[in-house]
Chain A
Amino acid sequence: MSTDRYSIFSVLREALRGHTGWKPAWREPEPKAEYDIVIVGGGGHGLATAHYLARVHGITNVAVVEKGWIGGGNVGRNTTIVRSNYLLPGNTPFYEHSMKLWEELEQDLNYNAMVSQRGVVNLFHSDGQRDAYARRGNAMRLHGVDAELLDVPELKRILPMLDFDNARFPIKGALRQRRGGTVRHDAVAWGYARAADGRGVDIIQNCEVTGFRIEAGRILGVETTRGFIGAKKVGLACAGNSSRVAAMAGLRLPIESHALQAFVSEGIKPFIDTVCTFGAGHFYISQSDKGGLVFGGDIDGYNSYAQRGNLPTIEDVAEGGMALMPAIGRVKLLRHWGGIMDMSMDGSPIIDRTPVAGLYLNAGWCYGGFKATPASGWCFAHLLATDAPHEVAAAYRLDRFATGRLIDEKGVGAQPNLH
């Protein structure tokens, strides 16, 4: 008998019989000739879409095709932060929906994703920034999202290592979302894959889409390196490669691909037990359970598909870290890596139909896609299953750039390398 369900009892049973009953968490099926729905991209969003298609909508004749291996793209390359501290009406309900799905994720998937609601603390450094964060916190609370404004004495209690009296960027307080935190990113991909597979979804790795079969404006399937796969509907969840894949269907997207770097230090003793972001530069940090400081900053700022960045950005991130918490100055960098971000022109995502009938798009996540994974999957599954947008993702339209209904959270206009 093999062990299907993970629990304390299955761990004990397997311990007693030499761990001979575990089986692979998902199958490696050959692609079938046709599916009801093919999802292109086996990252977090594609796998979450497959899971919710199966669990919520009962659609299990589904394949996820992935050019590499699942979890090898951005879902394994981020800084694992989850939060729902958004300001604009189009964003707040969506990210809060995602936060609620994170809170029930492990029970839903029967998988330990190490969801840790350790809080997200966004520092402010001036009176003007305090007003902006107070406004953001109030907008969140009006949407039923938790938010609290912290003063300096409270901050000194929870983050004593900060450089409060920095001459250039003194710390005046923070906006905290207690329900935010971190999630083990690889486990999100694996958990969704296992849950979707368990309901009959085929996860087909090492299968790159090379073209689309489109007749009379309707999608018939995808051409892949493992042959043609027919599909009634096709959903694209290709993150940094969205423009390349969509171009094969004749679409030109409001997206540029940019490199974002992330970093982890050598393991140190418990140092910081929340997520903290610097408000005067772009720097965010948390500590993993292994003890490594996980941190990042801005995108490199030029078009890239290289999954690696350059030294000026590393220097900028390190300067942000040193301005915020000088105590980390002698900690050694263990690893750094890059991912390719699908930077949209207003900094917000797209979950919508396309001009090709039966072809759907999930893209434009910029450098904030990880936290959105559950709601992105939930809403994309809803769109694929019902052909209508989910109510919390209704603003994420592809045509909003033509109609003027942009969702510009940062307020910088049509500049993908600024979001």
Chain B
Amino acid sequence: MRIPCPYCGVRGLDEFAYLGDATLIRPDPAAPGAEAAFHDYVYLRDNPAGLHRELWQHASGCQSWLVVTRDTRTHAIGRVEVARDVAAARGSGAE
């Protein structure tokens, strides 16, 4: 598996560290029902067989956090985005 880092180009898997599902959003601890929301956020996963948006860090490279869309059935890498851009788009309501 090789991941095309937007800054460094295509690099081997051993340069990257994996965090997991990138679609999880940390709940607001002050909101009602926060306890249940945090349980879901910390423990529950969709765990799809197919396309999965996930967080990787180019830990042994430029150290950027990336949102990689990957097929969990084939390990084929699709779109790679910079996590900061994804978060900014989400913050602006674009996503």
Contact = CB atoms under 8 A, between A and B. Distances in A.
Interface of A: 241, 243-244, 247, 252-257, 301-306, 310-312, 315, 345, 401-402, 414, 416-417
Contacts of B14: 312, 315
A417 B47 contact: no
Contact of B47 (A257, A311, A315): A257
Contact of A401 (B13, B43, B46, B70): B43
Interface in B12-62: 12-14, 18, 20-21, 36, 39-40, 42-49, 52, 54
B63 interface: no
Given A244-B49, A305-B49, A417-B20, A252 B44 contact: yes
A48 to B, nearest CB: 25
Nearest to A305: B49
A241 B75 CA distance: 17
B73 interface: yes
B18 A417 contact: yes
Contact of A303 (B13, B36, B40, B47): B47
A416 B43 CA distance: 9
Interface of B: 1, 12-14, 18, 20-21, 36, 39-40, 42-49, 52, 54, 70, 72-75
Nearest to B74: A306
B18 A310 contact: no
Contacts of A244: 47-49
A306 B75 contact: yes
A304 B13 contact: no
A253 B72 contact: no
The 10 closest A-B pairs by CB, nearest first: A243-B47, A312-B14, A254-B43, A401-B43, A305-B49, A302-B18, A252-B44, A345-B43, A402-B39, A310-B1
A304 B13 CA distance: 14
Nearest to B36: A402
Nearest to B12: A312
Given A302-B18, A302-B54, A306-B74, A253 B1 contact: no
A303 B22 CA distance: 12
Contacts of B45: 243, 252-256, 416
A254 B54 contact: no
12 contacts: A241-B49, A243-B46, A244-B49, A247-B46, A252-B45, A254-B44, A257-B72, A302-B70, A303-B47, A304-B75, A312-B13, A416-B45
Given A252-B40, A255-B45, A402-B39, 17 more contacts: A243-B47, A244-B47, A244-B49, A252-B46, A254-B44, A255-B47, A302-B18, A303-B47, A303-B54, A305-B49, A305-B72, A306-B73, A310-B1, A310-B13, A312-B14, A414-B43, A417-B20
A305 B48 CA distance: 9
A241 B72 CA distance: 12
Contacts of B44: 252-254
Contacts of A305: 49, 72-73
